[in-house]
Amino acid sequence: MRESKVLGLSLTKLTFLLFAAAIIVYPLIWTGGFAIGAGINVGAMAVGALGFVLLIGYAHQLALGQAGFSLIGGYCSAILTVRYGWDPFSALLVALALSMTAAYFIGLPILKLRGFILAMASLAFQLILVYIALEAGAFTGGAEGIPGVPKFGVFGVTFSTDLAFFYFTWLLVILSIVLGLNIDRSRVGRSLKAIAASETAAGSVGIDITIYKVQMFVLSAGLASIAGSLMVHYLRIMTPNIFGFVFALTLITSVIIGGLASIWGGMIGAVVVVVLRENLREFEIPLWEVVIMGALTVIVLILFQRGIAGFIGDLVSRIIPPPPNLNDSATDPIVAEPFYNISSSGGTGALLKVDGAQKNFGSLQAVDNVSCEIQPNMISALIGPNGAGKTTLFNLITGHLPLNSGQIIFDGVEIDKMLPHQIASIGVGRTFQNLQLFDNMTVIENVMCGYHRLAKAGLATVSLGLPNVVAEERKIRDIAVQHLAFVGLADATEQSPSALPFGHQRLLEIARALAGEPKILLMDEPASGLNESETEQLAELILRIRELGTTVLLVEHEIRLVMGLAEHIIVMNHGSKIAEGPVAEIRADPEVIAAYLGTG
């Protein structure tokens, strides 16, 4: 991780020091009970808001109803402490476990939905919980709720002063931010951003989209639950309306104002929103509060699109510019030597075998009974007129489309029933016709995502920031630098992909695919949009890729590239294979000339 240093401290450490100092000093300056109470309130909200940042800001899953888990957490804490006399901290932990378990079973079905439908469904889930709480009077106390919730305490030690509870709450805020930052700077954080940018591309490097979405759903439910438990002990009463629609809206507003894409955003937003709300209470007419909050949200969104945290981040990087982009690893910037080597498996026999593949879109037979074999460590090409079914065949191989009938075998494994990320994870890499880069990450992070299938760190180890995770991160970064050097992009590591010229974006996609050390690389029109000299460089790159032991299958219209490079050519027209063979044969084939090559 490349970071600016101030007074010998990394920016993150400095931020944490200032943050901790602010927490310690705050109650010493504002000693009133009201101020400390507000501080506890903000802390609880900050924990809940972080869940929204991870789920909405990072994974782009618009599950707006996570406050429903605050309701579950709140009730669990209230019932266990009031009715059964439990220790509040133990109750909080049980509530946490319950909420996360519930989230797992709710998340699996609900995360199949997307965008606004997911937002509506999850809000509906929260409102249903509120109504259940209102109706299940015997259990929840109905609209009156459960009064007499005790002060918070840990293992029998009750926090007799609000000050102790304040520090405890903010300790949890710090811990949750550490957890968030650990996730942010890890394989998990990158995978979440990858899913947000392009689920197709995320799948193509082996990222299991469902697992990551559910993990974030469960984690954010846990954070919401903690927020709920803390709020209940602060308010000393639990009623259904505490965690109703208004609470959900306040949390969402906080996150948007604070900055959806920043781990600090939730906390900053919670501070701003609560401070404003408490001050606006002085207006006698409650409507003003709503109007001013609404107007403020709009203004912040217009002025700083990435929220206050984004604004502060920009400001800091302007005052303390990040260190120049140096190649800090020992790698030579123009490594052209092979750096991984696929041992050909089994030696003889096809690496990829398509047998009677059939794909229909309605009455259109996009791929009609196609059989072909791709031999290992060769460059093969798939050509044919537009609409011949080449990309469809690619998508069948990579699992992005299901077959109607037929069979696809890769490296001895039947892959035609597998999901894209499963196929990617056994060594099928691909690049896309219309580039699918992760624009929300830097160039090097894009390539680091490519290494996904070979890396190990999971959410649990990442959250704790274990030493082996740190070591693996360093290794992935070094490998990514090598791959960037291999394609000739060593100088672009810290740039945004969208700032690269088009030809370089293509190279970046290739580097990302290579980082997963694929046994076969499927390239969909890699020369499209490249000029002559770039095409020539691409040809050499493809030859060097074959030297690594990776088999290459091209779909390409740049016929000079195909004819110059391919050892085996397959021609498709109207969904069927019309010819197959070496270059000379294909070039002389009258059917291929009529359908594709033309006479020019």
Contacts with another protein, residue ranges (CB under 8 A):
379, 383-387, 433-434, 501-503, 525, 528-536, 539-540, 543-544, 546-547, 557, 559-561, 563-565, 595-598, 600
Comparing CB distances to another protein, the nearer of 208 and 525 is 525
- Residue 570's beta-bridge partner residues? 382, 580
Provide, rounded to whole angstroms, the least separation between the CB of residue 438 and another protein. Answer: 20
Cβ atoms of 566 and 558 closer than 8 Å = no
Min dist. Cβ of residue 562 to another protein (A): 9
CA-to-CA separations, 498 to 450, 503, 529, 574, 575, in angstroms, rounded: 18, 11, 16, 35, 35
Q: Closer CB to another protein, residue 291 or residue 543?
A: 543
CB-CB contact of 151 with 158 (8 Å): yes
CB of 540 to another protein, least distance (A): 6
- Six-digit token string for 64: 């707006």
How far apart, in Å, do the first and last CA atoms of the chain sit?
A: 53
Q: Which one, 330 or 533, has the nearer CB to another protein?
A: 533
Taking residue 119's Cβ as centre, other Cβ atoms within 10 Å add up to 18
Q: How near is the Cβ of 388 to another protein at its closest, in Å?
A: 8
C-alpha radius of gyration, the chain, whole number: 28
Per-residue tokens: 473: 């991160």
**Closest distance to another protein from the beta carbon of 202 (Å):** 23
User: What is the nearest approach in angstroms of another protein to the Cβ of residue 328?
Assistant: 27
According to DSSP, the β-strands at 428-431 and 237-238 are unpaired
Nearer to another protein, 219 or 381 (CB): 381
> Do the bridges between strand 413-414 and strand 405-410 make them parallel or antiparallel, or are there none, so unpaired?
antiparallel
Instruction: Identify each DSSP E strand in 482-575 by its residue range.
Output: 520-524, 551-555, 568-573
Nearer to another protein, 210 or 537 (CB): 537
Closer to another protein at the Cβ: 343 or 531? Answer: 531
Q: Identify which of residues 320 and 559 has a Cβ nearer to another protein in the complex.
A: 559
Q: Give, for 331, the enclosing helix (H) or strand (E).
A: none
Beta partners for residue 352, in sequence order: 374, 410
Give the pairing type, strands 520-524 and 428-431: parallel
Identify the three-state secondary structure at position 382.
strand
Quote the Cα angle for 392-397-402, to 5°: 70
d(CA 570, CA 372): 8
Q: How far is the CB of 194 from another protein (least distance, A)?
A: 23
What does DSSP assign to residue 161? Answer: S
CB of 573 to another protein, least distance (A): 10
Site of tokens 């056994």:
426
Q: Which C-beta is closer to another protein: that of 255 or that of 374?
A: 374
CB of 387 to another protein, least distance (A): 3
CA gap 191, 201 in Å, rounded: 11
Q: Could you tell me the CA-to-CA distances from 55 to 47, 65, 160, 252 in Å, in that order?
A: 13, 11, 35, 12
Amino acid at 554: L
Cα distance between residue 425 and residue 420, in whole Å: 9
* 80 vs 565, beta carbon nearer another protein: 565
**CA–CA gap between residue 151 and residue 165 (Å, rounded):** 9
Nearer of residues 149 and 572 to another protein, judged by Cβ: 572
Q: How far is the CB of 423 from another protein (least distance, A)?
A: 25
Residue 85 or 598 having the CB closest to another protein: 598
Q: CA–CA separation, 274 vs 270, rounded Å?
A: 6
Q: How far is the CB of 567 from another protein (least distance, A)?
A: 8
Shortest CB 564 distance to another protein, Å: 3
The residue among 169 and 535 lying less far from another protein, judged by its C-beta, is 535
The torsion region of residue 581 among left (phi > 0), alpha (psi -120 to 50) and beta comes to: left
